[in-house]
Copies of this chain bind each other. A is one copy, B any other.
Amino acid sequence: MTHDFYMNLAIDEAWKYQFLTYPNPAVGCVILDKNGKILSIEAHKKAGKAHAELEAVSIALQKLNPNLNLPKNPNDLHEFICKNHQNLFKDAIAYVSLEPCNHQGKTPPCAKLFSELGFKKVFIAIEDEHQIASGGAKFLKQNGIEVQIGICKQRAKDLLKPFLKWQKSSFKFFKLALSLNGSAYGKIVSSNASRSYVHAVRSKLDLLVIGGETIRHDRPILDARLAQAKAPNLCILSHQNLDEFDKTIPLFGVPNRKIFSSIPNEAKFVMYEGGENFLKAFKDEMDMFLIFSSSNLNTFENVKLDMKLKPLYKGFLENDTYGIYEKY
Residue ranges of A at the interface with B (Cβ–Cβ < 8 Å)? 1, 32-33, 35-41, 178-183, 291, 293, 295-311, 314, 316, 319, 321, 323, 325
State whether B180 touches A183 (Cβ < 8 A).
no
Residues from chain B with a CB closer than 8 A to the CB of A306 are 297-299
State whether A305 touches B297 (Cβ < 8 A).
yes
- Cα separation A302 to B180 with both chains bound (whole Å): 10
A293-B293 contact in complex given A1-B38, A180-B309, C-beta closer than 8 Å: yes
Residues from chain B with a CB closer than 8 A to the CB of A39 are 1
- Cα separation A41 to B38 with both chains bound (whole Å): 14
State whether A309 touches B297 (Cβ < 8 A).
yes
A41-B321 contact in complex given A296-B309, A298-B304, C-beta closer than 8 Å: no
Residues from chain B with a CB closer than 8 A to the CB of A298 are 304-306
State whether A309 touches B295 (Cβ < 8 A).
yes
State whether A297 touches B307 (Cβ < 8 A).
yes
* Shortest Cβ distance from residue A184 to the other chain B in the assembled complex, whole angstroms: 9
Neighbour of A300 across the interface among B183, B293, B304, CB < 8 A: B304
- With both beta carbons as reference points, the residue of chain B lying nearest to A35 in the complex is identified as B35
State whether B323 touches A323 (Cβ < 8 A).
no
State whether A314 touches B307 (Cβ < 8 A).
no
Residues from chain B with a CB closer than 8 A to the CB of A38 are 1, 36, 38
- Cα separation A32 to B36 with both chains bound (whole Å): 10
Residues from chain B with a CB closer than 8 A to the CB of A314 are 316, 321
* Shortest Cβ distance from residue A46 to the other chain B in the assembled complex, whole angstroms: 23
Residues from chain B with a CB closer than 8 A to the CB of A310 are 295, 319
A303-B37 contact in complex given A297-B309, A309-B295, A321-B321, C-beta closer than 8 Å: no
21 contacting pairs across A/B (C-beta < 8 A): A1-B40, A35-B35, A36-B38, A38-B38, A178-B182, A179-B182, A180-B182, A180-B293, A180-B309, A181-B302, A181-B304, A293-B321, A295-B308, A295-B323, A295-B325, A297-B304, A297-B305, A299-B304, A299-B305, A301-B302, A321-B321
* Shortest Cβ distance from residue A212 to the other chain B in the assembled complex, whole angstroms: 23
